[in-house]
Structure formats: structure tokens, C-alpha cells
Structure 1
Amino acid sequence: MLKFIHIPALAISLCFAGSLHADAISDEIAAARKAYEAGELRTAIETLNFAVSKIQEQMAANLVKLLPEPLTGWTADKPESQAGGMAAMITGTTLSRRYERADGAEVTLSLMADSPLIPMLTMAMAMPFVMQNNPETQMYSFKGYRGMLEHAADSQEYELSLMVGNRLVIQGKGRRLTDSQPIEDYFKQLDLEAIQTALTQ
């Protein structure tokens, strides 16, 4: 898990362990240690926070590899990640990638750890009658994982939300689609176990 509060502690432990590599992040951690030992606590915090953001950037660069390449007949934008900073503290860790087909169809995949969607989906799973009362939503299952399908009648937009464990949501949003199959085709390309491990450690 990419929690803001845990990485500074990790940075401090690495610093005192003396196993740092000579790179920019190590330099920042070393500077934070000096500031801490000198009693300059605010400076130590600010310096560690900078190191944290850089560590999170490196982690995000590895995490985006979890998003699949475009299927035959599709193209894709570069993967995007939000794994640090204030926004991530509110929305959780988010990785996304948009795919497009020649006929204009679009699918956007999002992998969200510690997302605000989780309580809503948990409640929906616990009270399925709530979805049953809404004609635009229905229960959804994929490889044993439960979720929700949203689709308005006469609309070409589909949204699949899938809970993987209790901290990860996989979401697929489709536009200009005749059904939700293209989203599911991309779901099939995901290594759900690897994603859960990488995003919720």
C-alpha cells in the first residue's frame, strides 16, 4: 500500500541502517537525518516528504506496468498514475489507461487502492436490494470477484466496478459500446493477484 504516513518511517529506518545508495533520494534522507539530529524537526519533515514523493514516483512507474497493452484493433494512451501527494491521500492510489478503437469505442481502465468507492461497493454488496431498485445498476461477478454494472437504457456507456479483496477496486468505463464485452475483454488481460499484491502491500 502506498500510504503517506508509512514511507517516512521506512525512510528513517533505511537511513539508520546505513544501507543507502548514492542517489538523490538517499541524499534527501541523509539530509533529513542531519536536520533531525540537529533538532530541526520541521526541516526534517519537509525533506523526508520530498524523499517520499520521489519514492512514490518510482513505485508508480513500476505499477503502471500492471495495466495491459491494447488488444488487437485498439490503441492506447500512456498509463497515468496518482500515487502520491495530497490528492492521493484523499482518493487513494489510482492507475488508469484509456484505450480506443477505430470505430470510436473507448474503454478506460482504472485500478484504485484504498478508494472512496470501496465503502459504497461494500454497502451495495451487503444490500443488493438497493441495486435491484435501480434499473440502471445490477450485480456483476468476474472470476469470483463481485461488483456492479451500471448502464442506462438506450445508452452506449457502460461502467463495471469490481472489488478485489477489501482495499482494491478495478473499474472499467466504456463509451460508444453496444455492450460491456470490450470492458470484460480488458479485465481478462489483468493479473488480478499480482495487482492486489502490488497495490495493497
Structure 2
Amino acid sequence: MICKRALFIAVGLALTPAAATADEITEAIDTGLSAYKDGDMSTAASQLDYASTLIRQKKAEQITAVFPDPMSGWEAEDAESESSGAAMFGGGISANRSYRKGDADLTIELVMDSPMLQSMMGMFNNPSMIAMQGGKLIKIAGNNAMLEEKDDRTKIVFVANNSALFTLTGNGVKTDEVKAYANAIKLDKLK
């Protein structure tokens, strides 16, 4: 029964590649639940892990909407995202987008749903910790943020919605421009 269902899923995916994601997730969950009820724990775990991975991939694709459009005079590359950052960030989703204006460049990185966020939130809630890190405490869209300025490099780090860590790194970019990009991040798109 499970082999037939898996074959049915594979054939269905081959015939409908673009629209398959939501149905593929539902099918994997249903297959996992059915296997669990039948006592087949290996298949249940495998299918539920598969569904979970597909959900994280879908979320990774959606979060790229948070990145701001390039400001006047700037160009931007397409945003990139991935849900395979588990080894580096202890789980979660990461995304980034790069901007360029002449010789200046700016990168915005986002990490979501990672266990490392708890330690970062503690730092932002304690201004003396930011000072010990060599940064200044500033506000970005109502969130505590750390600003570091060294030579021609400006870095802003902040946590939003208790689930998203943003790091903006500008080289040859004025601090006001990095702040403007930070404040232009579409935090309402975080889900």
C-alpha cells in the first residue's frame, strides 16, 4: 500500500512540477501519518521529515520578499535563500541579497528560526553587552540594533519579531545609507 502511494506521489509530481509543492507536502504528511498508524516508524519519520523540509524550503522562498528594493543609484542582485543552513546556524532558514553602487557594496543577510537567536536577543536587551562588543546601540524600525563602524566598513545587526536576525554589511557605504536600507526592510513580510 505504501509503495503504491509513493509511486502515485512520484508520478503526480512528474506530471505537475510547478503546482506540486503544496500537494506534495500534504501527501508526505498523509503518507507519514498512515505509516505511523500502521506501525512503520521508519517510513513515518522519513515522510514527516520530508514534509518538514519542503515546508522550510517554501518558507525560504517566501522570506526573500523582506529585502528592500534597490535605492536610487543602486543595483541589486536577486535574493537567495536556503533552508539547509542547519549545520552552520543550528537549524533554520537563511537568505541574503547584495546591492552595489559604483565601488560600494552592501549585503543584507537574514537568519530565521535558529536557536542562536536567543543568545543574540539577550545581547540586544543589554546595551552594555553591545558596548563590550565595540558597537553602538541604535534603533532600526523600533528594534534594538548594534552599529559597528570601522574604516570604510559599516555593519548593523538586529533581531526582529524574536525570530529573524538581520546583518547588514556595507563596504564603502555611508552609515546613513546602511541605516536607510535597514529601515527599508519589509518586516511585515516575515511570517
The bucket for the TM-score relative to the shorter chain is: 0.7 to 0.9
Distance change (3 Å), C-alpha of 1:163 and 1:84:
same
Deviation of the 1:121 alpha carbon: 4.9
Structure 2: distance between partners of 1:129 and 1:23? 49
Residues 1-201 of structure 1: pairs in structure 2 closer than 5 A: 23-83=23-83, 86-87=86-87, 90-101=90-101, 103-115=102-114, 116=116, 118-123=118-123, 125-126=125-126, 128-132=127-131, 136-152=134-150, 155-177=151-173, 179-192=174-187, 194-196=188-190, 198=191
- Whether the 8 Å CA contact 2:85–2:94 is kept in 1: the answer is no
| Conserved? CA contact 1:106–1:176, under 8 Å | yes
**Alignment RMSD:** 2.7
Aligned amino acid, residue 148 of structure 2: E
Q: In the TM superposition, what is the alpha-carbon distance from 1:45 to its structure 2 partner?
A: 0.5
Q: Distance in 2 between matches of 1:40 and 1:123?
A: 45
1:62 aligned partner, one-letter code = Q
Unaligned runs of 5+ in 1: 1-20
Distance 2:73 2:64 in 1: 22
Q: How many aligned residue pairs are there?
A: 170
Do the aligned residues in 2 keep the contact of 1:70 with 1:76 (CA within 8 Å)? Answer: yes
* Aligned mates of 1:22, 1:62 — CA distance in 2: 14
Residues 195, 119 of structure 1: alpha-carbon distance in 2 compared, 3 angstrom cutoff = farther
Q: Sequence identity, in percent?
A: 25
Residues of 1 paired with 2:145 and 2:83: CA distance? 24
Separation (CA, whole Å) in 1 of partners of 2:64 and 2:152: 28
Instruction: Give the conservation status (yes or no) of the 8 Å contact 1:107–1:182.
Output: no
SS at 1:78 equivalent: coil
